[in-house]
Structure 1
Amino acid sequence: MERITAAVERSRRGDVEAAAAEFDALWAELADPAGDPFHRCVLAHYAADVQPDPHAELMWDRRALAAAAEATDASAQAHHPSLRIAGFYPSLHLNLADVLRRLGDAAGARDHVAAARARMGDLPDDEATAGYAETIRTALDRVERDLDAAG
């Protein structure tokens, strides 16, 4: 997880190409069936953010969603006791909805908006995370507005 965090920080500092290369290298290590699905989910979720090509972004977003389906709360809680895999789904579906919208797949995008909205109840419900839930809701609203505007 430290290496994933370091790559995320590298991308946030603007060294996106180096971060993408590190994500690729880490994926090669974690893609092994013995690799932890929680780590694959987190890695793919962040790797999608540094892709210059939306098709590559879509591939990483799909990897993140697939890994989440295999991950356990126990693995997530080994990283932080408050984490539950279910709480990742709204954001994972949001990212898929947004990239599919940009790729012109309105039906697929709407399916993921609906899936994200259906999972909003899985987000932690406390003051510390209320802003995160609002960020997800606002982004889902934006994706829907963009889809409606596109026809």
Structure 2
Amino acid sequence: MGRIHAAQLRAAAGERAGAAADLAALWDEIGGEAGDPLHAVSLAHFLADLQDDPADELEWDRRALRAADGLTDERAREYHSSLAVRGFYPSLHLNLAADLVELGDPEAARHHLDRAEAGFADLPPGEYADMITGAVARLRAQL
């Protein structure tokens, strides 16, 4: 997770291509979707944000969702005691909805917004929840 975080910092510093290369190498190192679900969901989630093609971003976001489906709370809590997998889903579905809007599929986007909203109660209160709920509201208004 430290190496994933370092790549995120690299992306935030404007080194998108280098960060994407670092994350893709880690993806291969863990065995991709067959690897540890915590690492897979994190890598796929962050790799999605570094894609230039919306279809590629959608595929990475789908990988993140599939990895979350294989992740247990126990494994997530090995990384941080406050984590619960159900709290990942609003963000994952929001990202899928945004991808689908970009790709011109508003019906599928609405489905994922519904799924994101269904998980709002699972978000820990605070800035993160406010960010996710606000982004869902903005995307829904856009649709």
In the superposition, the TM-score normalised over structure 2's length comes to 0.95
Query: 1:58-114 deviations in whole A, cap 9, x for unaligned?
Result: 011000000000001111111111111111000000000011001101011000000
Q: How many pairs are equivalent?
A: 142
Distance in structure 1 (CA, Å) of the matches to 2:33 and 2:88: 22
Partner of 2:122 in structure 1?
122
Amino acid at match of 1:42: S
1:13-92 pair list within 5 angstroms:
13-30=13-30, 31=32, 33=34, 35-92=35-92
The answer to which of 22-31 and 3-12 deviates more is: 22-31
Shift of 1:24: 1.1
Q: 1:140 aligns with which of 124, 129, 136?
A: 136
Amino acid at match of 2:135: A
Q: CA RMSD in A?
A: 1.0
Distance in structure 2 (CA, Å) of the matches to 1:29 and 1:70: 18
Unaligned 5+ segments in structure 1 are: none
Amino acid at match of 1:139: A
Distance change in 2, residues 1:141/1:25 (3 Å):
same
Amino acid at match of 2:106: A
* SS of alignment partner, residue 46 of structure 1: helix
Identity of aligned residues (%): 50
Amino acid at match of 2:131: T
Question: Displaced runs of 4+ in structure 1, greater than 3 A?
Answer: none
Shift of 1:32: 6.2
In the superposition, the TM-score normalised over structure 1's length comes to 0.90
Distance in structure 2 (CA, Å) of the matches to 1:53 and 1:85: 28
Distance in structure 2 (CA, Å) of the matches to 1:23 and 1:13: 15
Amino acid at match of 2:72: T
